[in-house]
Structure 1
């Protein structure tokens, strides 16, 4: 990262695990993303509530569709059709958001599967990754590796505990206490070895750096039995890869870089107008 970036004051979070597995890293990351978006008023409710609402709307629509097939009275049919139309609008409104969250989950799971050690994650909120309004850093430290036998991403008790600790710490440090009206973009940067096999459709963008006056809010995750650090990967040339595309109100900005432990930017997956 650039020298112009302020030094992060990390809050340490300990886990009793010998090493963080895929489940703990994935769910902590995803829950923090959802929390940050909600606190900065970029999503209408928590991710869990939106998922429940989305599933409930689909179930209700199917029930009304079944009832409509057996209903013969015109007045009841009109009522059912009107209600189904309203539900369909709600489903369509949440569909882009839920798909974007699913895409983010898929992308991060790929990173966990392909990268032997995830050193850190940066969440940058703003109009661009160069001048974000807010920075959140999740540092997993070099000695914490993703267990190769931990490809099961089901939410475990350890993952739940670590996620809750992270959210409580963010709240205590004032996350989301200062925000700005209107939609902003979320950029997710992953610090990973240069051997990471990034997608082929990215365009190189060298010398990437952001200029930030606000001190990032950081979390440092440590295992209690942690004794020594793992040596970093040998240094390589810094190469950034950038891809940007838009679908409706949804904007993605994808940035990848390669370095000794380079920062690889995953999808900027939210840019919504709620009406």
Structure 2
């Protein structure tokens, strides 16, 4: 069973201090660690949640992906020369073709951004033996964000397996559901920006790792202290024993590290791809 709780806590190191009223969000997973594909699934679901709750995408991520794939498939079919049609049917066909083309054009930049980020994240996870956390930043720039979501993984060491594995395990689905519910309970998305903005993705790893070119090192990365991050810790069981509060505090502190890292070895890597949201009132039915 996975469970989620909230508790007090403080940030440090490369992050500004946490403010009063934003408790640490904890999600517990009944596993010694999360596989690469499970980390990818959870991060993807949380990224989609952040975009949707802050009105940067017009539908939940899964529906958006399905709808866009259907539009692309329909356009491919329409590329074939139609058979003999009545004039009225030809007009309907042409009208529908223009509508499909318009909707694809409207969503294409967003969907390409999502695809690029997800592909880059999968490649990065496949290249590293461990990961300590992921940072989701909404705003016009990294240093002056509107909203910050700091997701820490308490035991992010990987065994064999790829982030690109098909399907999602029950563990990944359960952890992502618990994480999203915990964020909602903590008020995530209750305040939002009224227009489209960018989403930046960073991962926290030892600096000795050679990540793909999609990720660039950001040493001593900081953002405005005026922004209070919403911090989440996904806690895994190690040898069947829950990590205690003292360990959790040291993990959430971005200036510290796991038992296999030191403060000088752990840095942020920024994905060079960003996701730019659609206007907040956009919808697929428009």
The TM-score range, normalised by the shorter chain, is 0.7 to 0.9
1:262 to 250, 264, 267: 267
Q: Does structure 1 residue 149 correspond to structure 2 residue 149? A: no
Question: In structure 1, what is the equivalent of residue 42 of structure 2?
Answer: 28
Question: In structure 2, what is the equivalent of residue 70 of structure 1?
Answer: 83
Scaled by the length of structure 1, the TM-score of the pair is: 0.81
Contact 2:215 2:270 in 1 (8 A): no
**Structure 1, unpaired ranges of 5+:** 237-259
SS in 2 for 1:59: helix
Question: In structure 2, what is the equivalent of residue 104 of structure 1?
Answer: 117
How do residues 206-221 of structure 1 correspond to structure 2 at under 5 angstroms?
207-221=220-234
2:107 to 94, 100, 103: 94
Larger relative contact order, structure 1 or 2 (CA cutoff 8 Å, min sep 6): 2
Question: In structure 2, what is the equivalent of residue 243 of structure 1?
Answer: none
Pair 190,3 (structure 1): closer, same or farther in 2 beyond 3 Å:
closer
Report the Cα offset of residue 263 of structure 1: 0.9
Contact 1:140 1:222 in 2 (8 A): yes
Question: In structure 1, what is the equivalent of residue 186 of structure 2?
Answer: 173
Pair 171,19 (structure 1): closer, same or farther in 2 beyond 3 Å:
same
RMSD: 2.6
Question: In structure 1, what is the equivalent of residue 255 of structure 2?
Answer: none
SS in 1 for 2:142: coil
**What is the rounded CA distance, in whole Å, between the counterparts of 2:191 and 2:122 in structure 1?**
31
**What is the rounded CA distance, in whole Å, between the counterparts of 1:151 and 1:272 in structure 2?**
25
Question: In structure 2, what is the equivalent of residue 189 of structure 1?
Answer: 202
Contact 2:145 2:227 in 1 (8 A): no
Pair 270,232 (structure 1): closer, same or farther in 2 beyond 3 Å:
same
**What is the rounded CA distance, in whole Å, between the counterparts of 2:218 and 2:130 in structure 1?**
24
**What is the rounded CA distance, in whole Å, between the counterparts of 1:157 and 1:273 in structure 2?**
32
Report the Cα offset of residue 201 of structure 1: 8.3
Pair 126,151 (structure 1): closer, same or farther in 2 beyond 3 Å:
closer
Q: Does structure 1 residue 139 correspond to structure 2 residue 152? A: yes
Superposed CA deviations along residues 200-254 of structure 1, whole A, max 9, x for unmatched, are 5888776432123232111111123256775233554xxxxxxxxxxxxxxxxxx
**What is the rounded CA distance, in whole Å, between the counterparts of 2:230 and 2:143 in structure 1?**
17
Report the Cα offset of residue 52 of structure 1: 1.6
Superposed CA deviations along residues 39-88 of structure 1, whole A, max 9, x for unmatched, are 1111111111111211222333345555x521243332232112101111
